[in-house]
């Protein structure tokens, strides 16, 4: 047997809860992303303070700035993919 159709109020309530779930998932990802990027930024400032104003070279080839920029990029790309997937999954998932 199939379920009887839901009323408009029930459908609106369910859609509203889905939107709230998706927004809370998005806010959680943004909070973690900003925390990680802030931590990397503080670590970069601390390391630059240790070595002075010159940009330190690892193995005389790779600038320290490039390592921190690569870490920022990897975290942003990772959270973009994971965040989009999680927000869509939170919206699609049936609210409780």
Distance from C-alpha of 40 to C-alpha of 33, rounded to nearest angstrom: 11
Average the pLDDT over 60-89 and give the result.
85
Q: Assess contact for 84 and 12: CB atoms under 8 A.
A: no
pTM of the model: 0.71
Half-sphere exposure in the Cβ direction for 82 (13 Å, CA): 11
Average the pLDDT over 67-84 and give the result.
87
Top pLDDT among 73 and 54 is at 73
- 45 SS3 class: helix
Q: Which residues pair with 58 in a beta bridge?
A: 62
Say what the pLDDT of residue 1 is: 62
Say what the pLDDT of residue 6 is: 81
pLDDT tens across 17-39, in order?
Answer: 888 888 888 888 889 889 988 99
């Amino acid at each position: 047997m199939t379920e009887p159709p839901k009323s408009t109020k029930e459908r609106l309530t369910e859609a509203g809860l889905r939107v709230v779930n998706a927004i809370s998932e998005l806010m959680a990802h943004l909070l973690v992303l900003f925390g990680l990027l802030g931590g990397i930024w503080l670590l970069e400032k601390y390391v630059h303070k240790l070595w002075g104003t010159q940009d330190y070279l690892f193995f005389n080839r790779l600038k320290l700035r490039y390592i921190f920029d690569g870490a920022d990029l990897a975290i942003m790309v990772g959270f973009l993919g994971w965040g989009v997937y999680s927000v869509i999954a939170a919206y699609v998932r049936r609210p409780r």
